[in-house]
Amino acid sequence: MKRFPSLVCLLLAAAVCAGGSSLSLDVREHVLSNGMKILMVPKPGVPRVVCHVYYKVGSINERPGITGIAHLFEHMMFKGTRVMGVTDFGKNDAINRKIDEVMDKIYRERYWKRGGGDEDKIAPWRKEYEELVKAEKPLIVKDDLWTVYMKNGGTGLNASTGNETTGYYVTLPSNKVELQMLLESDRMMNAYFREFYSEKDVVMEERRLSENRPGFLFGEQVTAAFYAASPYSWQVLGWMDDLKKITRADIREFHDRYYVPNNCVAVYVGAFDPKRILALAETYFGRIPRAADVEPIRTLEPPQAAEKRLSGEGPAPTNLQIMFHTPPEGHPDTAPLQVLSTVLGSGGFGGGFMGRGGGGGSGRLWKLLVRDKQSAVNASAFSRPQWYVGAFQFSAMPRLDKGVSPEDLEKEIWAEIEKIKKEGVTPEELQAAKNRRESNFLRGLQSPMGLTASLGRAELNRGWRSLITDIEDIRKVTNDDIKRAAAVYFVKDNSLTAVYKRKMGR
Amino acid sequence: MKKTLALVLALGWITVLSGYGQVEKPSDLKFPELKYDPPDPKALRTVFAGGLRGYVQEDRSLPLVNISAAFDFGSLYDSADKAGLAELLSASLIKGGTGSRTGTEIEDRLDFLGGSLSFNAGERIATLSLTVRSQDLDEGLALFFDVLRDPRFREDAVALEKARLVEGLRQANDQPAAVLAREYERLLYGDHPLTRQATRKSYEGLTVADLKAAHGRFFSPRNAVLAASGDFDRTALKRKIDRLIGPWKSRPSVPPEFPGSFPPVEPGVYFIQRPISQGYISLGHLGLEDTHPDFYAVQVMNFILGGGSFTSRITTKVRSDEGLAYNTGSRFTYRWGFPGTFSGYVQTKSSTVAYAVSLILKEFERIRAELVTEEEMETAVNYYLESFSEVFQTAQTTTSSFANLELTGKPLDYYARYRDRIKAVTREKVLEAARKYIRPDKTAIMIIGDWEPCNQGGEKYPGPLEKFGPVRRVPLLDPLTGDPVKTP
């Protein structure tokens, strides 16, 4: 039985004005009876529609043993469903049950026993697995969803997993939005996780690719050391051990808990008729039953109460990071910290690895350390509030050709921090930072894909209107707010300092 | 239920809803027809004072203005003894200041306005881009044209940028992917201005006089095309820009000539040693220019071979079937005035390097041997037709796409005729294109990885790599000096 709640009553149109200028953010929102949110921004013009679905799930919803599963899951969403990607589902399902059985035997032997188990026992099972995979191949329609999207002019086709959210993206011609509704609702309700074990190999290759990026492994250790308890401590890619051992049963459980209509939002930006989109959404997403509510994550970060230091060496450029724990999004101290990071930091990494190009080198740290003292190659600050726990980070790369060490830069940055605690920033710096954040926000609205992503991610945490209220909070920041926030958070017992030195290996 | 349904009926929704019976499979969907005609470049084209050409489109949806000027300038034009000149100019055009403002003054002012101004010189196209709120348009335009017309490359700013570029050289071998991109091109083009690399010595030898000379030679109104979009009145904008161009004159300049042929590359394996857990691989040879009539057939062919991500043969085989790699496929790159490159590519763990290469080579052979299927053809052609309007999704992409056509001398009806040219590609033409542009007999395989495990291979495909032809060990160059790195 389908239900049509009074659409019109729930259809809200919000016009938002920023800065007294003529900006309006015309977002229409609607909630389906199963709890799924629909956001729409009609933009007449070129007949294309950006269609994104965001789920409120990411690596912070994982636990030791299944780290990396949110990202692995995102990969599996492209491997077909009970409807898509298969010619004879009954036969295919029978084979997959056998695959699960034999892989269960292999995993128990290899991972439950000390020393990796008995290879002689594993070998015949492995052979059996390969035979089953061979038998499954003719039943599989490879990359069915991807091909159908492409054939219909789908662009921006992708998906991504973060700490907090997972998004599924496509942009289609205006007359084909129904295709997205069909395929996305199908993979929400009928996900099947075909070719699970070979896709895990792909994800492990993806992790190796990152490991070969100089500095990645050190960065991973820095994050792990920074968070003692919070699930932000592991990377979205997860630990290799967990990737090896995650099972198809783990994936199913993850699906049933998080991939439910009341845990997601679909966002549409482009040339369309909102009434038509809502009718389609009712038809396709509306057919999926509501599931149990998802509890927010429990473990926040306890007070650190001791300074942390980490040192390492390897094939990446010598650099320094100083990190501090800060409050999450929505906290009154978030806006002052955001403004401060803009004053200090817009120099260094903006225009590529050296922050070349205009505009990039006008932050206070850049002027002081790169331009005037010439002791750094780049220097920047970055504030990342996140949903549950925040971080404020200083980064700098010393001028080795002038004999500067990371420790020298550490002293320079601390001197600057102490100065901010006492004097704060100048009125010009404060106004410039506010202007910059506001116009960055405006610029973000220029790209339909950027707008879609901002709306979807914001909606899942504090509602899409937080995009606007955050800017309003930025406008209200005073120099006293900045001084106070700096004094509270920039203290040794709340910090981690990471010193990395280049050393070439074999 | 009845009540809500009645409400829906009363509002006339029945006409909307009746069209949406739910279907199970994409093949059951019927889409209403959609006609789309791309914007006409002639309607947006204008010529400013001094012969500066431009494409201008009003877009009042946000209080912002985007302006960019693209010049025919880049590293290609660095002479042999001045390698790195375009990069240094790119880094210091704004930071070096103008006759009336220091670089810091320019950046601070834009920062205060919340605007952005950036300059980037590539191989042969250099672009200055400005974004400002429309209320700051006059000031933004003044800064934009000041930087273009009257840069002074102050000594201290240039010295700082040189030091930063040298630091960049120090990091240039860090990323295996960057090393592969650089060395693969050097292999295919040989010693040519396209592959010339700056060193510490060449950067340090560059002078402010060199920068000023390059600016004087390449930065003139006739050598650029402007793209402007956003919240402004078209006529008023033209008046403002004409006034700012005022005294900026074009000098007659003769474009440099370059050798257009490249020495043949011996097929086989080119191996660069790095102690990493994967092999980074590109295999192929030179391709074609995008102005060639075969371009459209090559696009469709490569979509099927390895350019159409998951719908393509290489990705299906190497990634989906075998789980060997995260990144794999094939690509044609294009460059203005020269043939681009063709490459199959993959990054995979050392023990499966040889296996992945063998699978890609098989796909090279297969697409040359037989016609692609009707289904593959339909997917590829429809992709290009149905995604065509993407280019025009914002006024900014529309104007800059047209500016790019004009700068590179492509016909202005390129987009108007694009879909017909894609439609004209047939399976036979795809086969013809594959036979002409995919040449396994001329394929060079470049691998960056750990020699022992890569050469040893794995169960499914044991080494040695000599199976693919003679193996040459290529020394890794130290970008600071241009000499081979000494292995510790």
| B37 to chain A: closest CA residue | A46
Rank A23-32, A180-189, B251-260 by mean pLDDT and report only the highest.
A180-189
Question: Closest Cα of chain A to B120: distance in Å?
Answer: 7
Binary contact (A377, B164; C-beta < 8 A):
yes
Q: Are B454 and B396 contained in the same domain?
A: yes
Tell me: ipTM over 0.90.
no
Of residues A46, A176, A209, nearest to B392 (C-beta): A46
Give yes or no for A275 touching B (CB within 8 A).
yes
Cβ distance A476 to A335 under 8 Å? yes
Measured between CA atoms, how close is A2 to chain B, in angstroms? 9
CATH topology match: A7-86+140-287 vs A308-502: yes
Output the pLDDT for position A24. 60
- Tell me which chain A residues have a C-beta less than 8 angstroms from the C-beta of B95: 358, 361
CB pairs under 8 A between A and B: 261
B interface mutation test: which of A362, A449, A501 has the most B CBs within 10 A? A362
Q: Does domain A7-86+140-287 have CATH number 3.30.830.10?
A: yes
Note whether residue B306 is domain-resident. yes
- Distant-in-sequence, close-in-space partners of B420: CB < 8 Å, separation ≥ 6: none
For the cut 80, the answer to whether the pLDDT of residue A491 exceeds it is yes
Q: What is the mean pLDDT of residues A307-328?
A: 95
| Residue B117 and residue B106 in contact, taking contact as beta carbons nearer than 8 Å | yes
- The Cα A191–Cα A188 span in angstroms is 6
- Residues B374 and B415 occupy one common structural domain: yes
Number of domains in chain B: 2
Residues of A numbered 85-144 whose beta carbons fall under 8 angstroms of chain B's beta carbons: which are they? 137, 142-143
If asked whether residues B111 and B235 sit together in one domain, one would say yes
CB within 8 Å: B393 and A275:
no
Residue A68 gets the label, from left (phi > 0), alpha (psi -120 to 50) or beta, of left
Residues of chain A contacting B324 with CB distance shorter than 8 Å: 201, 205
Which chain A residue shows the shortest CA-CA distance from B20?
Answer: A280
Which residue in B33, B176, B309 is closest to A212 by CB distance? B176
Report CA-CA distances (Å) from A263 to A282, A286, A292, B94.
16, 13, 9, 48
With CA atoms as reference, the chain A residue closest to B231 would be: A22
Mean pLDDT of A286-306: 96
Residues of B in contact with A440 (CB under 8 A): 114
Residues of A in contact with B117 (CB under 8 A): 358-359
Q: CA nearest B304 in A: which residue?
A: A147
Residue B217 included in any domain: yes
- Closest chain B residue to the Cα of A19, Cα to Cα: B63
How far off is chain A from B443, nearest CA to CA, in Å?
Answer: 25
Query: With a cut of 70, which residues of chain B have pLDDT below it?
Result: 1-20, 487-488
- On chain A, the residues whose CB falls within 8 A of the CB of B167 are 317, 354, 377, 397, 399, 401
User: CB of A168 within 8 A of CB of A53?
Assistant: yes
**B276 and B204 assigned to the same domain:** no
Give the residue extent of every domain in chain A. Answer: 7-86+140-287, 87-139, 308-502
One domain for residues B101 and B224: yes
Give the model confidence (pLDDT) of A334-371 as tens digits. Answer: 999 999 999 998 643 333 333 332 234 678 999 999 98
Could B164 and A346 be called an inter-chain contact, meaning their C-beta atoms sit closer than 8 Å? no
Note whether B317 and A248 are within 8 A (CB).
no
Q: How far is B260 from chain A (nearest CA, A)?
A: 31
Stretch 153-212 of chain A: residues touching chain B, C-beta under 8 Å:
153-155, 157, 171, 173-176, 178-179, 182-183, 195, 198-203, 205-206, 208-209, 211-212
The span from the CA of B386 to the CA of A173, in Å, is 7
Separation in Å, CA of B449 to nearest CA in chain A: 10
B138: left (phi over 0), alpha (psi -120 to 50) or beta: alpha
Residues B234 and B304 in one domain: no
Q: Is the pTM higher than 0.95?
A: no
Residue B142 and residue B275 in one domain: no
User: Contact B26/A377, CB-based, under 8 Å?
Assistant: no
Q: What is the Cα–Cα distance from B338 to B189, expressed in whole angstroms? A: 10
* Pair (B239, B272) in one structural domain: no
Do B170 and B79 lie in a common domain?
yes
Q: Residue B326 is nearest to which of A157, A206, A440, comparing CB atoms?
A: A206
Whether B180 is covered by a domain: the verdict is: yes
The chain A residue lying nearest B116, using CA atoms, is A359
In a domain, B453, yes or no: yes
Based on the fold, state whether residues B147 and B287 are members of the same structural domain: no
- Helix A479-489 with A406-423: angle, nearest 10 deg: 130
Distance CA B263, CA B192 (A): 10
Mean pLDDT of A98-103: 97
Domain of B397, in residue numbers? 268-473
Q: Is the pLDDT of residue A21 over 60?
A: no
| CA angle in degrees (0–180, nearest 5) for B118-B124-B125 | 35
Residue B328 sits in a domain of what CATH number? 3.30.830.10
Is B289 found in the same domain as B218?
no
Q: In degrees to the nearest 10, what's the CA dihedral of A397, A399, A401, A402?
A: -150
CATH classification number, A308-502, choose in 1.10.10.10, 2.70.70.10, 3.30.830.10, 3.30.450.40: 3.30.830.10
Residue B281 and residue B210 in one domain: no
Contacts of B318 in chain A (CB under 8 A): none
Domain's final residue, options B214, B245, B276:
B245
Using the Cβ of A217 and the Cβ atoms of chain B, whether some distance falls under 8 Å is answered with: no
Say how far apart CA B350 and CA A92 lie, in whole Å.
Answer: 33
Q: According to the model, what pLDDT value does residue A16 have?
A: 42
CA angle (A330, A169, A219) in 5-degree steps: 60
Q: Which residues contact A160 (CB under 8 A, 6 or more apart)?
A: A74, A166, A167, A169
Count of Cβ atoms closer than 10 Å to residue B458 Cβ: 15
CB–CB contact A399 B163 (8 Å): yes
Distances from the Cα of B375 to the Cα of B273, B313, B424, angstroms: 42, 13, 16
A374 reaches B (C-beta below 8 A): yes
**B272-305, pLDDT tens digit by residue?**
999 999 999 999 999 999 999 999 999 999 999 9
What pLDDT, in 10s, does the model give residues A222-280?
Answer: 999 999 999 999 999 999 999 999 999 999 999 999 999 999 999 999 999 999 999 99
DSSP classification of residue A232: G
> What does the pLDDT read at residue B287?
97
Q: What's the CA gap between B47 and A264, in Å, rounded?
A: 50
Q: CA of A213 to nearest chain B CA: how many angstroms apart? A: 6
